[in-house]
């Protein structure tokens, strides 16, 4: 189950990196904004679902509490992306642009938290190393 969790966390990171690609390609697309950012919006919804699934799997696999919390944090940050966009759209001019800048900063926080999840999940999914016993002497450094 821990390996499945690590693989799911890797899928989450792949989705988040793809999200940055889609945002950049949408920003430089000559099509109108609503059209060019549609794939970015669609993947954003999928990332929320993946993050919730990662959190549920972390809890089911009895991962450490901090890892479960970090997984939940990613889900909350992904939901916050939609809230930030809504608030920015409700504001006019420079205030809306300033608030929308938080969308990118929040995206970086998602990348950082997902990276922490992957690192911890990989450590926990590795088989435990055997400790030297009386029957198997420890290797000595030359």
Per-residue pLDDT tens for 21-49?
A: 998 888 787 776 777 888 898 999 999 99
Residue 130: inside a domain: no
pLDDT of amino acid 27 = 79
Residue 138: inside a domain: no
Mind listing the pLDDT tens digit for each residue in 88-140?
989 988 888 899 899 999 999 999 999 999 999 888 877 766 545 655 555 66
pLDDT of amino acid 35 = 78
**In total, how many domains does the chain have?**
1
pLDDT of amino acid 28 = 82
Residue 136: inside a domain: no
Q: Which domain holds residue 90?
A: 2-125
Residue 21: inside a domain: yes
Residue 71: inside a domain: yes
Phi-psi region of 32 (alpha: psi -120 to 50; beta: other; left: phi over 0): beta
For Cα atoms 33, 106, 31, give the angle at the middle one, nearest 5 degrees: 10
Residue 49: inside a domain: yes
Arithmetic mean of pLDDT, 8-28? 91
Residue 139 exposed, middle or buried by CB count within 10 Å (0-12, 13-18, 19+): exposed
pLDDT of amino acid 59 = 94
Residue 140: inside a domain: no
pLDDT-derived band at 142, boundaries 50, 70, 90:
low
Residue 43: inside a domain: yes
Q: Is the dihedral of CA 18, 19, 22, 28 positive or negative?
A: negative
Mind listing the pLDDT tens digit for each residue in 47-80?
999 999 999 999 999 999 999 999 999 999 999 9
């Amino acid at each position: 189950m821990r390996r499945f969790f690590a693989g799911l966390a890797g899928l989450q990171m792949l989705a988040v990196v793809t999200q940055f690609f889609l945002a950049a390609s949408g920003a430089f697309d000559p099509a109108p904004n609503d059209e060019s950012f549609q794939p970015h919006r669609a993947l954003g919804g999928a990332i929320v679902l993946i993050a919730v699934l990662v959190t549920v799997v972390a809890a089911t696999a009895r991962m450490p509490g901090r890892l479960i919390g970090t997984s939940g944090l990613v889900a909350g940050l992904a939901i916050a992306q939609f809230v930030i966009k809504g608030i920015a759209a409700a504001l006019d001019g420079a205030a809306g642009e300033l608030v929308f800048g938080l969308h990118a900063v929040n995206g970086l926080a998602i990348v950082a938290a997902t990276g922490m999840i992957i690192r911890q999940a990989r450590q926990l999914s590795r088989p435990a190393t055997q400790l030297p016993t009386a029957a198997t002497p420890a290797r000595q450094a030359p």
